[in-house]
Amino acid sequence: MQVMNSTMQMEASTPLPIKLEKSPYEVVHHLSSSNAVVVFSTTNCCMSTVAKRLLFNLGVGPTVVELDEHAAGPDIKAFLYQLAGTTRQPPIPAVFIGGKFLGGVEALMANHINGTLIPLLKEAGALWL
């Protein structure tokens, strides 16, 4: 499995190798604990685009995992459903900041609107100013 490690532009990304023999939990845990911001996304999801654009516009270069482009994507998505604790609300995009599961686009936007997103990003080392 490859994961895209993005810099300041959504188009600029470098593949990061992820071993397929790892369990979905191990993949999610490894990526979220070794990157300041991780977005588990699908390429055709408009809410995923909203989440990624917000982070990029804030100056964050999240690690983006496009689940529909990888063999382990369905298993990771199923794990994210369990992590989100619901079957009604889709877990994609799933945003991790500082190794912690923030939630989906609703949680990301709520934190942005109430002013807590920037401090979270700074604490995680995703922003320096």
How confident is the model over 5-27, as pLDDT tens digits?
Answer: 554 444 444 445 555 568 899 99
User: Is residue 88 very low, low, confident or very high in pLDDT (cuts 50, 70, 90)?
Assistant: low
CB 70 within 8 A of CB 27: no
How confident is the model over 110-124, as pLDDT tens digits?
Answer: 999 999 999 999 999
The alpha carbon of 128 is separated from its chain's Cα centroid by a whole number of angstroms, namely 19
In CATH, what class is 2-124?
A: alpha beta
Amino acid (one-letter) located at 59: G
How confident is the model over 35-55, as pLDDT tens digits?
Answer: 999 999 999 999 999 999 999
pLDDT at 2 over 50: no
Beta bridge partners of 2: 17
